[in-house]
A and B are shown apart, each in its own frame.
Chain A
Amino acid sequence: MSSTFDTIANIIAETCDIPRESIKPESHAINDLGIDSLDFLDIAFAIDKAFGIKLPLEQWTQEVNDGKATTDQYFVLKNLSARIDELVAAKGA
């Protein structure tokens, strides 16, 4: 069974045509991989479907805009993986 990170990385590679080997846990989806907000909607869609969750993009964006969080917390892939694991766990709770 692949890890959450592997699933995300595969989704990003396929959706955005980015070489899989260049996608690392430390990669920032926006700053390092150059994914824009519109492309990220396709990624969010694929993640929502793959994990049966609803990424709270609006809430995250609001927190970043309000200075309550940094983009690193949500868009560095290892952190995104952790958030997804939390959402999956919360769904099953």
Chain B
Amino acid sequence: MRLEYFQLIDRIVELDLTGRTIRTEATVPKTSTIFEGHFPGYPLMPGVLLIECMAQTSGWLIVALNRFERMPFLAAVKEAKLRTFVTPGQVLSGTAQLKHDGSGYAMTQARLEIGDKTVCEATLTFSVTPFPNPEMAQQMRETAKTIDFPLLGAPANG
């Protein structure tokens, strides 16, 4: 996890296109410039980044379901609950399930856990559009390789 670069997923642990679920994992870095301000003397992972982490977990699921042909952009966050503090060095397990695959949009239910304790949860809505340019699509594929994305080059219904 590199907070400053919005790289909030270390690896994809499990991807189930039939069940339309995903599990991810990420370790909060022990040091980050973000912790210098949030908060001085008491470093906590910002809540907005926890929501972003849930969005990225959901996003990789939607990318997979769309065979890397479409990109999800976060559009709405509902019923977000941030239940516990997250501190440097902790390991976050992310899960997301597709609730609805609409025309040009998708909704997921996502959560982060540390061990068996729920850290946060939310219902997320995404606008799902063709990639705005080929460079971004390629960049997503390159990033996918670095996080053990399991389906690159495989049939999409696997």
Binding site for B on A (CB under 8 A): 38, 41-42, 44-45, 48-49, 54-59, 61
CA distance A2 to B105 in the complex (A): 28
| Beta-carbon nearest neighbor of A58 in chain B | B104
Residues of B within 8 Å of A, CB-based: how many? 10
Say what secondary structure dominates the interface of chain A.
helix
| Beta-carbon nearest neighbor of B128 in chain A | A58
| Beta-carbon nearest neighbor of A62 in chain B | B104
CA distance A49 to B125 in the complex (A): 15
How many interface contacts (CB-CB < 8 Å) are there between A and B?
Answer: 34
Is residue B107 within 8 Å, beta carbon to beta carbon, of the partner chain?
A: yes
CA distance A39 to B75 in the complex (A): 10
| Beta-carbon nearest neighbor of A59 in chain B | B103
Given contact pairs A38-B75, A59-B103, enumerate 9 new A-B contacts (beta carbons under 8 Å).
A41-B125, A44-B102, A45-B100, A45-B102, A45-B105, A49-B100, A54-B103, A57-B103, A57-B105
B103, A56: Cβ atoms closer than 8 Å = yes
| Beta-carbon nearest neighbor of B103 in chain A | A57
Q: In the assembled complex, how far is the CB of residue B24 from the closest CB belonging to chain A, in whole angstroms?
A: 24
- Residues of chain A contacted by B76 (CB below 8 angstroms): 38, 41-42
Q: Which one, B100, B101, B104, contacts A61 given CB within 8 A?
A: B104
Q: In the assembled complex, how far is the CB of residue A37 from the closest CB belonging to chain B, in whole angstroms?
A: 9
Q: What are 24 A-B interface contacts by the 8 Å CB criterion? A: A38-B75, A38-B76, A38-B125, A41-B75, A41-B102, A41-B105, A41-B125, A42-B76, A42-B125, A45-B100, A45-B102, A45-B107, A48-B100, A48-B102, A49-B100, A54-B102, A54-B103, A55-B103, A56-B103, A57-B104, A57-B105, A58-B103, A59-B103, A61-B104
- Residues of chain A contacted by B103 (CB below 8 angstroms): 44, 54-59
